């Protein structure tokens, strides 16, 4: 068989995923290309770098075995019984009532747990809740039958409503599922976020995905329990206690009021690890579109992990796909506003009316998404160093809080918080960046570079990583301890992410 015949055969094998590329707006999406990128197909040959990187990183995740594990069958109207992760199930639209039921019951934890795949309950004991948001709930669980009773593995179970591919098309959404081959050679449909997580298994800057159970109305991603502090109750709680909370330590907790809780050297460690995560993603032409203080967690030893792959830009064609025409703005992101966005929002059309806390505004503003994401990263670093955001008033007004709390506080403080926000936008546009005079010159150089007013003059990701401040500034500083961290009595800590024991000063390189 010659090369062209082999590739034609491969294209037929991957026709299920390839056909979705013809859906309007789905052509270059991760979910509709990853299946063929992994194969010796035309797509893989045309994008040889991505083909090589994804194949290598898939091997790192393969040690956890089968990715999609729910084998329960459900009736597909006018067809037959099928697994939720099958093409037959993904190609149909369920009744409106079913979808409404799934969304309505997201806050009823008992109902959610009863709706999970039965195989999950056979394996794991759910004993509490790690957190919840507008799109899902994360439960805490541990092994029921551990191989080593002295080293029980703990997991986070992220439960979300499931949307089939055909439902996504009908609602004008992006692709929700990506094709993947199981160990038997069958094509399975994997939730896009879970599929992305499979390719970052080799980096400790992200939680490790163990498996996913797509079960009718809900999908459950089982992953390592990132930055959930030591608590002896986690070893004894049962499913009867699922309302108990064992939250992860979010980056937002590293700032108290307008007071930073970390030293410059400690911030340097956090910032470098976040930069590592961004570079690891960029090797796959991916960039995180929702970097914020609520989307990374910090363990007891000041190691960070990036969360939430729901908003991720994938650039199949490299530079071209990183060029976007719109900037999505939400009130809770006000502290990360850039000069170019502030200028656009200073126009009268955007000043009229009051915005709802959760209301998204889509601003027409052509730009490079990587530049936007590095600006958000810079805002996180500045906040951690100063305790307040760039160009923000240094003194805390308890009536309106800080700019990071503006979305929540403005309803209480009425027009004053609104005008304070507009005044800060003017400073973002017109004033030089104020920097704490006690910071080192290397740190100052990084901040000035990241906060350059003109987007085209800001450093790229790899240029930023070459700055002296990121060259091991923190590595010889001994053991790090995160504020408000509880430690086991012994001198070692169990790493739930890897299932191994690591030293307390382990740097997670």
Per-residue confidence (pLDDT) for residue 476, from 0 to 100: 74
pLDDT, tens digit, 9 for 90 and up, residues 219-269 = 999 999 988 887 888 888 876 655 688 999 999 999 888 889 999 999 999
Report the share of the chain in percent with pLDDT over 90. 58
**Statement: residue 15 has pLDDT above 50:** no
- When pLDDT is cut at 50, 70 and 90, the band that residue 182 belongs to is confident
What do you get for the CA distance between the two ends of the chain, in Å? 45
Specify the pLDDT at position 305. 96
Q: What is the pLDDT of residue 274?
A: 97
How much is the pLDDT for 24? 86
Nearest-angstrom CA–CA distance, 269 and 504: 15
User: Could you tell me where the beta strands, DSSP code E, fall in 225-319?
Assistant: 255-256, 259-260, 286-288, 296-298, 304-306, 312-314
Tell me which fold the domain 9-224 belongs to.
Answer: Phosphorylase Kinase; domain 1 (3.30.200)
The confidence band for 441, taking pLDDT boundaries of 50, 70 and 90, is: very high
305-314 per-position pLDDT tens digit: 999 888 899 9
Pick 487 or 117 by higher pLDDT: 117
Query: Residue 64 in contact with residue 58, Cβ under 8 Å?
Result: no
Q: For the chain, what is the radius of gyration of the CA atoms?
A: 23
The reply to whether 158 sits in an annotated binding site is yes
Query: Residue 507 pLDDT > 60, yes or no?
Result: no
Query: pLDDT by residue (tens digit) across 372-404?
Result: 999 999 999 999 999 999 999 888 777 666 777
Contact of 217 with 231, CB cutoff 8 Å: no
Report the relative pairing of strands 312-314 and 187-191 from DSSP bridges.
Answer: unpaired
| pLDDT reported for residue 325 | 93
Q: In whole angstroms, what is the distance from residue 430 CA to residue 409 CA? A: 26
Per domain, the residue ranges of the chain are 9-224, 251-470
Q: What is the structure's pLDDT at 418?
A: 78
> pLDDT value at position 2?
44
Pick the more confident residue, 7 or 158.
158
Report for 10-19, 165-174, 366-375: range of highest mean pLDDT: 366-375
Predicted confidence (pLDDT) at residue 277 exceeds the cutoff of 50: yes
d(CA 432, CA 427): 8
pLDDT digits (tens, 9 = 90+) for 398-429: 766 677 776 665 555 556 777 888 899 999 99
What does the alpha-carbon distance between residue 209 and residue 220 come to, in Å, rounded to a whole number? 11
Q: Is the pLDDT of residue 490 over 80?
A: no
The average pLDDT across 347-359 equals: 61
For position 498, what pLDDT does the model report?
35
260 phi, psi to nearest 5 deg: -75, 145
The mean of the pLDDT values for the chain is: 85
The pLDDT, as a whole number, for residue 471 is: 87
> In terms of pLDDT, which residue wins out, 14 or 437?
437
Q: What is the pLDDT of residues 315-336, one digit of tens each?
A: 999 889 999 999 988 888 889 9
The token duo for 344 is: 């656009």
CATH of domain 251-470: 1.10.510.10
Q: Which residues contact 21 (CB under 8 A, 6 or more apart)?
A: 27, 29, 32, 33
Q: What is the pLDDT of residue 231?
A: 82
Least confident range of 188-202, 379-393, 403-417, 459-473: 403-417
Percent above pLDDT 70 for the chain: 85
């Amino acid at each position: 068989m010659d090369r062209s015949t082999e590739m034609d055969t491969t294209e037929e094998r991957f026709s299920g995923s390839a056909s979705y590329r013809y859906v309007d707006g789905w052509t270059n999406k991760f979910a509709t290309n990853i299946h063929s990128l992994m194969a010796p197909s035309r797509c893989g040959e045309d994008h040889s770098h991505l083909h090589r990187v994804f194949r290598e990183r898939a091997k790192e995740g393969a040690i956890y075995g089968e990715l999609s594990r729910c084998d329960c069958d459900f009736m597909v109207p006018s067809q037959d019984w099928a697994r939720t992760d099958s093409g037959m199930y993904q190609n149909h639209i369920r009744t409106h009532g079913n979808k409404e039921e799934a969304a309505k019951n997201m806050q009823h934890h008992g109902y959610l747990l009863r709706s999970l795949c039965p195989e999950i309950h056979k394996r794991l004991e759910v004993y509490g809740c790690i957190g919840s948001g507008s799109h899902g709930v994360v439960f805490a669980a541990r092994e029921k039958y551990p191989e080593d009773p002295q080293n029980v593995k703990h997991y986070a179970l992220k439960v979300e409503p499931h949307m089939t591919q055909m439902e996504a098309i009908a609602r004008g959404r992006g692709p929700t599922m990506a094709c993947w081959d199981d160990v038997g050679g069958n094509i399975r449909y994997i939730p896009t976020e879970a599929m992305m997580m499979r390719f970052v298994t080799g980096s400790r800057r992200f939680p490790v995905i163990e498996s996913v159970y797509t079960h009718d109305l809900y999908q459950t991603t089982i992953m390592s329990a990132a930055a959930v502090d030591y608590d002896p109750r986690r070893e004894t709680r049962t499913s009867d206690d699922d309302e108990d909370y064992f939250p992860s330590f979010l980056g937002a907790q590293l700032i108290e009021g307008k007071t930073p809780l970390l030293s410059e050297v400690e911030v340097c460690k956090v910032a470098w690890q976040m930069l590592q995560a961004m570079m690891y993603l960029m090797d796959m032409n991916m960039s995180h579109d929702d970097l914020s203080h609520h989307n990374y967690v910090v363990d007891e030893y000041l190691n960070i992990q990036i969360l939430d792959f729901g908003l991720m830009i994938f650039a199949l064609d490299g530079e071209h796909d990183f060029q976007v025409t719109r900037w999505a703005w939400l009130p809770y992101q006000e502290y990360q506003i850039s000069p170019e966005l502030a200028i656009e929002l200073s126009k009268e059309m955007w000043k009229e009316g009051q915005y709802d806390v959760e209301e998204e505004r889509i601003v027409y503003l052509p730009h490079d998404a990587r530049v936007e994401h590095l600006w958000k990263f810079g805002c996180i670093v500045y906040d951690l160093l100063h305790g307040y955001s760039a160009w923000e008033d240094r003194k805390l007004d308890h009536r309106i809080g800080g700019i990071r709390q503006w979305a929540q506080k403005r309803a209480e403080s009425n027009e004053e918080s609104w005008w304070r926000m507009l005044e800060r936008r003017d400073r973002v546009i017109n004033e030089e960046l104020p920097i704490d005079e006690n910071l080192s010159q290397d740190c100052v150089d990084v901040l000035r570079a990241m906060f350059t007013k003109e987007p085209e003059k800001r450093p790229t990701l790899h240029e930023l990583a070459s700055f002296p401040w990121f060259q091991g500034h923190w590595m010889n500083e001994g053991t790090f301890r995160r504020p408000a961290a509880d430690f086991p009595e012994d001198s070692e800590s169990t790493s739930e992410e890897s299932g191994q024991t690591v030293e307390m000063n382990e740097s997670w390189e």
